[in-house]
């Protein structure tokens, strides 16, 4: 199901002219959009609105999927690359945040 959703997001991005041959979005424009969506997530967390948190996390993910397409690396490869690094990371939890060892 998740893979279908990622593919649906890609197709939506093509249909809307964000990515693909006729895509008009750039790395910079997608970064700006990501920051906008992240700010919405911050607000949702501040007001503790669960529905808005879910929406904002989803919106951030959509932007990241499209940005990965713009840079020419599939989202799945970006995620796998990050996991391959963090899976070997050591550290500890401090005040609710994971701090990696140096």
Q: DSSP letters of 24-77? A: ---HHHHHHHHHHHHHHHHHHHHTT-HHHHHHHHHHHHHHHHHHHHHHTS-HHH
CB 68 within 8 A of CB 79: no
Q: What pLDDT, on a 0 to 100 scale, did the predictor assign at position 1?
A: 76
Q: What pLDDT, on a 0 to 100 scale, did the predictor assign at position 87?
A: 94
Rounded to whole angstroms, the Cα distance separating 77 from 97 reads 26
Q: How confident is the model at residue 77 (pLDDT cuts 50, 70, 90)?
A: very high
Each domain of the chain, given as residue ranges in start order, spans 2-100
**Averaged pLDDT score across all residues of the chain:** 97
pTM given for the model: 0.92
- CATH architecture of structural domain 2-100: Orthogonal Bundle (1.10)
CB contact burial 76-102 (16+ within 10 A = b; e otherwise): eeeeeeeeeeeeeeeeeeeeeeeeeee
List all residues 6 or more positions away from 91 whose beta carbon is below 8 Å from its beta carbon: 98, 99, 100, 101
Q: How confident is the model at residue 61 (pLDDT cuts 50, 70, 90)?
A: very high
Q: What pLDDT, on a 0 to 100 scale, did the predictor assign at position 102?
A: 85
* Residues in the chain, overall count: 102
């Amino acid at each position: 199901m998740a893979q279908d959703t990622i593919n649906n997001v890609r197709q939506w991005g093509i249909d809307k002219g964000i990515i693909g041959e006729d895509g008009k979005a750039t790395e910079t424009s997608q970064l700006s959009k990501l920051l906008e969506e992240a700010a919405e997530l911050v607000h949702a967390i501040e007001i503790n609105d669960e529905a808005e948190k879910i929406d904002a996390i989803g919106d951030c993910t959509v932007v990241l999927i499209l940005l990965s397409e713009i840079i020419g690396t599939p989202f799945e490869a970006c995620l796998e690359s990050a996991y391959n690094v963090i899976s070997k990371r050591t550290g500890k939890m401090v005040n609710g945040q994971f701090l990696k060892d140096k």
